[in-house]
Amino acid sequence: MNAFRRLAALLACTLALSACGEPQARANDVRLGIALEPPNLDPTSGAAAATDEIVYANVFEGLTRVGAHGEVLPALAERWDVSPDRLTYTFHLHPGAHFHDGTTFDASDVKYSLDRARAADSTNAQKGLFEPIASVDVVDPLTVKVTLSRPAGDFLFNMGWGDAVIVAPESAATNAVKPIGTGPFRFSRWLRGTQIELVRNPDYWGPPARLDAATFVVISDPAAAYAALLAGDIDSFPNFPAVELLPQIEGDPRFAIVIGTTEGETILAINNARKPFDDLRVRQAIAHAIDRKALILGASEGYGVPIGSHFPPHDPAYVDLTGTYPYDIAAGRRLLAEAGFPDGFKATMKLPPVAYARRGGEILAQQLKVIGIDVSIENVEWAQWLDQVFANGDFDLTIVSHTEPRDIAIYARDDYYFRYAKPAFKALMAELDLAGDDAVRRPVLQAAQRMLAEDAVNGFLFQLPKVGVWNARLMGQWANAPVQANDLTGVYWQEP
Amino acid sequence: MKRSSASLAIGLAFTALILAAAGLSLVWTPYDAELILVEQRLMPPSAAHWFGTDQMGRDVLSMILGGARNSIAVALVAAGIGLGAGVPLGLFAAAQGGIVDEIVMRSNDLIFAFPALLLAILITAIAGPGAINAIVAIGIFNIPVFARLARGGALALWPRDFVRAARVAGKGRLRISLEHILPNIASVLIVQGTIQFSLGVLAEAGLSYVGLGAQPPAPSWGRMLAESQTYFALAPWLALAPGLAIVTTVLGLNMLGDGLRDLLDPRIRRERAI
Amino acid sequence: MVRFLAGRALALVITLLAATLVVFLVLNVVPGDPAAYMMGLGGDPAALAELRRELGLDLPVWQRYFAWAGGLAMGDFGVSYTYRVPVGDLILERMRVTLPLTLMAMALSTALAIPLALFAAGRRGRAADAAVSGLAQVGLAIPNFWLAILLVFVFSTTLKLFSAGGFPGWEAGVWPALKALVLPAVALALPQAAVLTRVARGALIETMGEDYIRTARAKGLSERRALRDHALRNAMIPVLTILGLQFTFLLAGGIIIENVFYLPGLGRLVFQAIAQRDLVVVQGVVIVLVFAAVLVTLAVDAAYALADPRVGKGRR
């Protein structure tokens, strides 16, 4: 019986201790909640957005960087010259920059990083970004000349992606587990399954970070995230996973709720190569059947801006095309009948394991049923989705959010999973690559948006929102997510 | 004896209630259990919606009724797989003895050694989620349970006089197994069947909870729990209703099993496996 | 006895070998490609092919099996595809959460079940006994993940006594770490306690009917002392058997609970690894769990053999 008594005592202690709470003095650090743990910390290998969300702009930097509003800013390159034919970019590098292991940053690191990313044996997931590069030449330790084989409209923006950060040859092989960059924060340690810790880099070449340290804590369960926020365990959720619980936080002066935008166009992707979806009238019918308002309420708690094409509403070149095929059941039925399906048809919808897709799928299946399309839902894991839908185009319908920035050009790819690649659209994209100036690019981008909307390539649903919830005294976080990143360089605590 | 009859009565009542709910859902539910009306989401229990509505505006009572059908179908068929494959295996092993017995029993041990839930998750990862695959995943783990039980019962019976008499009369091992052994272990099998049925309901709920059971729009208790979890503070009825439905079903079946055991054969002392 | 154990140990090795083969074959028919998962939505086909080569995924199945099983024999579990660290280290790291959680749940369930069983056995047939049995019935019927949801609602969302999930790590101190394991352990322990109570009560009542206890009772030993000092000792074997089974069940069965509470344990590691098709990790974890299960069975058998020398001689 003695053992039982001891155990009871132990339990009582635990209970008592928990009641004491822990109101401690706040150090100059921040604890951020993230939903997904990255598989590794090397942004130049896998495609995990979770990796960029931790290391981009904090640990690793590129030649350029993408700012809070999607603009291209100088980073390791303090300025650049572009030749008139837009084939030669001369980058002037920032002097005095060092990697976290003490090695000096110079032009040879730039050449190494770019050559590594575009090499034949490269495992860079965004190898396509580097495809236009013909050669990289070191002019002097602080000058690099990049020559392109053809003009690339987004080249400077692309050099600001997480996949294009500059790494050192000495540490490139071990960045996955021990990232060494040039950024304002150094990697400190990684408790797998729990948290990743960064500390300020005292030798940073630019304006130093204002925080001493930052910890990214992995919490994906919505209920746990909510509780951790209320308990003060977490200072900020840049992407709060429990949107349904926002009504309970609203009005609490301790927290700031910031609804921003992302680059995530959420679409009902349609297999344009497969019958009967190759018929424009069928796709138009689907577009007419979609009630975006009900969908956004059910799939995203009402947050998210409706879209009518594959383009983010916060971009200056955006056109509102949500009225192209308005919610109109009669029109949908009529178009289906015209296409030869007066009694509708059967189709399947493969849904990846994210809330917007799973919930949105149930709602869309019902909306499509109203016009006669009998949709059966098949829930799949990401691995299966990537294999069946994305790699092999084996699907009728699916729901997914395309979070890559400036990605309208995917519609020009021949074997991209929704199989559109209309020659007229490809011509528009080619035109875009030749245009350097925003004034020239804008009408082209708008024509492209219209073409996608009118062809009803996919069901365009809504722009994925970025719902940030953080301590009201924490300043300087991004409201929007033009790239998948949590740039902490400007974050600080306001004095109470 | 008094308690066992009480157990039997309560078990019968609960089981009948759930079976009736499942049967009723075939012909009638208050609302269409799959009908989404987003504007009517998260309504608390009322006269119109006894158990309220969920985050999609569906009627929770209708979903509970429909979920009963799914739950019972999966668990029943999975128990059937166990009986159908396990009992012949066990009888065969007992009748043959020697190396055959050894192989059958060691294979059973191998299945037992595998973490059941993990393997079920793997099976659904291979075959994709869905009610059918959940049945297979649960059914596979029912096979060794019945095989062991049948073999144990049969081994105890083979040396008995009436079996020896049958052998002397020239009956083959197969015929003896079917005509003499099986009827004598039937009651044990029925009791174990009830228990595996109830475990199947729990297992199905667990698989559905992690998203590997019946797929939407078909209602399932486990998935209802998973989806409603984050709404608990806003709409507690969403998590209470399916949970109580699972508890009622499992409790009913367990008590039925206990009651049956005492009724059919008071000598059986087999405790349930986990 | 020695021969019996040697025979069982041989069976253990054969089971493990068969398990490696089964696990490997099962996992290699799983659709989905770990390299494709890592490359994601915008993945470049050439980069994907290169990654597959780097991970050795382009080799024939049998070659990969022998490489893996050979390493396993030397205690090398291989290197995780996604994490890029040795699988053995990952498993050890996660064991630091799963093992304490399992032991805590077992301690809790024993601490609840044995006194309840003694209490019920001492009053068998009376109202108190019926109440305990009823309670155990209800305990058996509650799915542990539902219990977890209710516990979180009551103790963390409403009373704010515990956090709803996550694990601070042992580095944060023993108390905060143990505190994070309390609710999950309770959720795991209650249904197990119900099983244990039923088994222990049954075993106690059975031993109370044995001749030597009747003799002792006739000599004036009180029922309570007879239960506690004699029956309990003899009821220990079925109780230990169930505890052994529960240990392996909890080790693997924490998958759902670890996901509810977001604990970085073995269950979540393997769940995540399945989703990411990090097959090396899945294989490693399954083998560890199978090993644990077989070892526990061996230990239980040995305990039986020690308690009853006849067991070792005959067949099971």
Q: What is the ipTM of this complex?
A: 0.87
Mean pLDDT of A363-386: 90
> C61: distance to nearest CA of chain B, Å?
17
Query: If you ran DSSP here, which 8-state letter would residue B270 be given?
Result: P
Domain A265-463 has CATH 3.40.80.10: no
Closest residue to C11, CB basis, from B3, B106, B248 = B106
Cβ–Cβ below 8 Å for A379 and B56: no
pLDDT value at residue A76:
96
| A117-163 per-position pLDDT tens digit | 999 888 888 888 899 999 999 999 999 999 999 888 889 999 999 99
Percent of chain A with pLDDT over 90: 64
Which residue of C lies nearest to B151 if distances are taken between CA atoms? C316
**How many contacts does B have with C, using Cβ atoms within 8 A?**
130
A257 three-class SS: strand
- Indicate the domain borders of chain A: 3-35+184-261+466-493, 64-172, 265-463
Instruction: Label residue A475 by pLDDT band (50, 70, 90).
Output: very high
Which residue of A lies nearest to B121 if distances are taken between CA atoms? A381
| A235-294 per-position pLDDT tens digit | 999 999 888 888 888 889 999 999 998 999 999 999 999 999 999 999 999 999 999 999
Cβ–Cβ below 8 Å for B117 and C293: no
pLDDT value at residue B267:
52
CB within 8 A of C30, min separation 6: which ones? B122, B125, B126, C277, C279
Instruction: Label residue C243 by pLDDT band (50, 70, 90).
Output: confident
Cα–Cα distance, C275 to A220 (Å, whole number)? 15
pLDDT value at residue A19:
35
Q: How many other CB atoms sit within 10 Å of the CB of residue A81?
A: 11
Which residue of C lies nearest to A36 if distances are taken between CA atoms? C272
Task: Using alpha carbons, list the distances in angstroms from residue B149 to A80, B80, B192, C71, C195.
Answer: 79, 15, 9, 38, 19
**Cα maximum dimension of chain A:** 88
Q: How many other CB atoms sit within 10 Å of the CB of residue A205?
A: 18
Instruction: Label residue A308 by pLDDT band (50, 70, 90).
Output: very high
* Subunits close to A (at least 3 CB pairs below 8 A): B, C
| A421-452 per-position pLDDT tens digit | 899 999 999 998 887 677 888 999 999 999 99
DSSP-H helix ranges across A256-318:
280-289, 292-300
- Contact list, B269 vs chain C (CB under 8 Å): 202, 206
pLDDT value at residue A323:
95
Both ends of chain B: CA-CA distance in Å? 25
Closest residue to C42, CB basis, from A45, A191, A404 = A404
Instruction: Label residue A364 by pLDDT band (50, 70, 90).
Output: very high
Which residue of A lies nearest to C36 if distances are taken between CA atoms? A386
> A47: distance to nearest CA of chain C, Å?
5
Which residue of C lies nearest to B250 if distances are taken between CA atoms? C141
Closest residue to B113, CB basis, from C140, C150, C293 = C293
Average pLDDT, chain C: 83
Cβ–Cβ below 8 Å for A223 and C82: no
Cβ–Cβ below 8 Å for C290 and B250: no
pTM: 0.84
- Indicate the domain borders of chain C: 87-275
Helices (H) and strands (E) in chain C, counts: 14, 0
Mean pLDDT of C231-255: 81
Amino acid at A284: Q
- B216 at A interface, C-beta within 8 A: yes
pLDDT tens, residue order, chain B (274 aa): 455 678 899 999 999 999 999 999 999 889 988 888 888 888 899 998 999 998 888 999 999 999 999 999 999 999 999 999 999 999 999 998 888 888 888 888 888 778 777 877 777 777 777 888 889 889 988 999 999 899 988 998 888 888 889 988 888 888 999 888 999 898 889 889 998 999 999 999 998 988 888 888 889 999 999 888 878 878 888 989 999 999 999 999 999 988 888 887 655 444 433 3
pLDDT value at residue A23:
36
- Contact list, C199 vs chain B (CB under 8 Å): 271
The CATH number for B257's domain is 1.10.3720.10
Its domain, for residue B107, covers 3-24+72-273
Q: Which of A14-28, A303-317, C53-67, C289-303 has the lowest mean pLDDT?
A: A14-28
pLDDT of residue C182 exceeding 60: yes
Mean pLDDT of A349-363: 91
Tokens of C2: 């020695």
Whether residue C137 contacts residue B8, with contact meaning beta carbons closer than 8 Å, is answered with no
CB within 8 A of A57, min separation 6: which ones? A65, A183, A485, A487, A488, A489
Instruction: Label residue A26 by pLDDT band (50, 70, 90).
Output: low
Per CATH, the architecture of C87-275 is what?
Orthogonal Bundle (1.10)
pLDDT value at residue B2:
52
Cβ–Cβ below 8 Å for C141 and B205: no
Give me the CATH topology for the region A64-172: Dipeptide-binding Protein; domain 1 (3.90.76)
In chain A, residues 374-393 whose CB comes closer than 8 Å to chain C:
381-384, 386-388, 390-391
Tokens of A480: 């929007």
When scoring A359, A374, A376, A394 by the number of chain B Cβ atoms within 10 A, the one with the most, hence best to mutate, is A359
Cα–Cα distance, A137 to A146 (Å, whole number)? 6
Instruction: Label residue A24 by pLDDT band (50, 70, 90).
Output: very low
When scoring A4, A17, A123, A413 by the number of chain C Cβ atoms within 10 A, the one with the most, hence best to mutate, is A123
Residue A115 host element (H or E): helix A107-118
| C195-233 per-position pLDDT tens digit | 999 888 888 888 877 777 777 777 777 777 777 777 777
pLDDT of residue A12 exceeding 60: no
Which residue of C lies nearest to B105 if distances are taken between CA atoms? C316
Closest residue to A380, CB basis, from B34, B128, B217 = B128
> Right CATH number for A3-35+184-261+466-493 from 3.40.140.10, 3.30.300.30, 3.20.20.70, 3.40.190.10?
3.40.190.10
Cα–Cα distance, A282 to A300 (Å, whole number)? 27
pLDDT value at residue A16:
36
Mean pLDDT of C186-201: 92
Instruction: Label residue C314 by pLDDT band (50, 70, 90).
Output: very low
Q: Which residues pair with A33 in a beta bridge?
A: A217
pLDDT value at residue A20:
33
Q: What are phi and psi of B130, to 5 degrees?
A: 150, 160
pLDDT value at residue C1:
64
Cα–Cα distance, C25 to B122 (Å, whole number)? 12
Mean pLDDT of C20-38: 79
